[in-house]
Amino acid sequence: MPQPRRLVEGNEAVAEGAIAAGARFFAGYPITPSTEIAEVLSRRLPQVGGHFVQMEDEIASIGAVIGASLAGAKALTATSGPGFSLMQESIGYASMAQVPCVIVDVMRGGPSTGLPTEPSQGDVMQARWGTHGEHSIIALVPSSVAECFSLTVEAFNLSEAYRTPVILLSDATIGHMREAVALPTRDELRVAERGEPDVEPDDYDDVMSTVDNIMPRPALGSRYAVHVTGLVYDRSRGGVPSTGTPSVAEGLGLYLREKIYHHRDAIARVEELEMEDAEVAIFAYGSVARSARAAMKWARRQGVKVGLVRPITLWPFPMAAVDHMAEQVRTIIVPEMNLKQMSWEVQAAVGGRAKVVDHGRIDGKLIRPEEIQNLIRREFYYHHFEETA
C-alpha cells in the first residue's frame, strides 16, 4: 500500500527517496534552491539512525560523502550550480576510485551566482564533463515530484550496481514545487544493498571485477584491507598505484568507461509519448518536458502528429531511443533552459537523419508550452491550426 496522497515538495521527495533507498549519511552546505533537502534530512536521518552533517563548504561535503560511503554507508549530498562546480574534483575521485554516492544538483541560473531562485538546465554538460579526465557518469533528470522520489531511489541503486557517482539533475522549478503524490513505501521499492565481495580477504586483491561482474567495494574497517586511491591503479594487484605503465592506465580507463557504457541500454530510461505515428518529435527533459508534454497534447488536439521523447537518464546518453527517433521523424525539437547543450548531442547522434530544431532560454524562466507550439506550427506550416490553443 502506498502512503496516502499528500502535498510534497520536490526537494522533500528527494530527501524521502534517499531515506527509502537506505541512505544513512548526508553531508552538505546550504545553497538555494537545494537547501530543503538538507533541512529535511537533518531531521529525518537521525530518526532512522543515520547521520547528517553540515560541512564547511561543498568541497568538504562531497569529501565527507565519499568517506562515509567508503565506510559502508549509502551517502548523498545536495547542492546547486556553484556548489556543484566546487564538487567536481571529488566527483572525479569517486569515479576513479569507484565510490558509490549520489549527488543531487538542483539547477539554477548561472554561471557563477547567477539566478539563485530561478530554474535552469545549464549544468547538463557539467554533469557529464565537469570533472577532468576521461570518465563515465550516470545522470538522471526528474520532471515531477514523484520522480524526485523514485529517481533518487534509482540513483542509489545504480550507484551501488555500477560502483559510481550518480547525479540527480533536478532544477529550481521541480525542487520547489509541491505536487499531490502518494509516495511508495519501502516494501514497494527495489532497493539494492551493497553486500560484501564473494571472495575471502586473502584472495580479494587477486580478483578483478569485470564489466559484467562488478564486485561491491568492501567497507573501511571490514575484514578486507582495501587501498583506495585517485591515482591510476593496477586492477590486478589490489588497486595499488601504478603510474608508469601505459597499458595499466589504459586498461583502467577503458574499464571505468565500459562498466557503464556496456550497460547503457539497460541504464537508459526514456519515456515516449505519442511516438507511434509521430512526424515531429520533441526531445525534452526535466521541468521543460512538462511544457513539451502540454505542447504535444495541444498539437494532437490540432490534428498534427507530434510525439514526445523524454530522457529520464541523460547520461549515459540514451542513444538507442534517439537512434529510433531519428529514423522515424523528420524534425526533432529540442527545447532546453540552456543554449543547445543537449541539442548538440542530439544533433550528433541524429547525424543528419532528421532536422534538429533547438530552442534555448536562459532568462531563468521555464520554457512555456506556447514557445514550443510556435515551433510546431512552423513544422506543419501547411496545416490549418485553430486560433485558440
Residue 106 interacts with another protein (CB under 8 A): yes or no: no
Near another protein by CB under 8 A: residue from 2, 111, 133, 223: 223
CB 282 within 8 A of CB 322: no
Closest CA to 171 of 111, 250, 100, 116: 116
Segment near another protein (CB under 8 A); pick from 67-75, 187-195, 261-269, 343-351: 67-75
Residue 22 interacts with another protein (CB under 8 A): yes or no: no
The residue (of 227 and 330) whose beta carbon lies closer to another protein is 227
The residue (of 25 and 380) whose beta carbon lies closer to another protein is 25
Q: Which three cell numbers stand for residue 378?
A: 512552423
| HSE-up (13 A, CA, CB side) for residue 101 | 33
Q: Sketch the per residue contact string, 326 through 365, with another protein: x for CB under 8 A, - otherwise.
A: ----------------------------------------
The residue (of 236 and 324) whose beta carbon lies closer to another protein is 236
Q: Sketch the per residue contact string, 240 through 279, with another protein: x for CB under 8 A, - otherwise.
A: xx--------------------------------------
Q: How distant, in Å, are the alpha carbons of 90, 91, 110 from that of 132?
A: 10, 10, 20
List, in order, residues 6 or more apart from 368 with CB less than 8 Å away. Answer: 291
Residue 230 interacts with another protein (CB under 8 A): yes or no: yes
The residue (of 222 and 236) whose beta carbon lies closer to another protein is 222
Instruction: Please name the amino acid found at residue 45.
Output: L
In DSSP terms, 8 is beta-bridged to: 179
Alpha carbon distance, N-terminus to C-terminus of the chain:
39
Is 103 exposed, middle or buried (CB count within 10 Å of its CB: 0-12, 13-18, 19+)? buried
The residue (of 60 and 102) whose beta carbon lies closer to another protein is 60
Near another protein by CB under 8 A: residue from 120, 152, 287, 341: 287
Q: From the CB of 33, what's the least distance to another protein, in Å?
A: 7
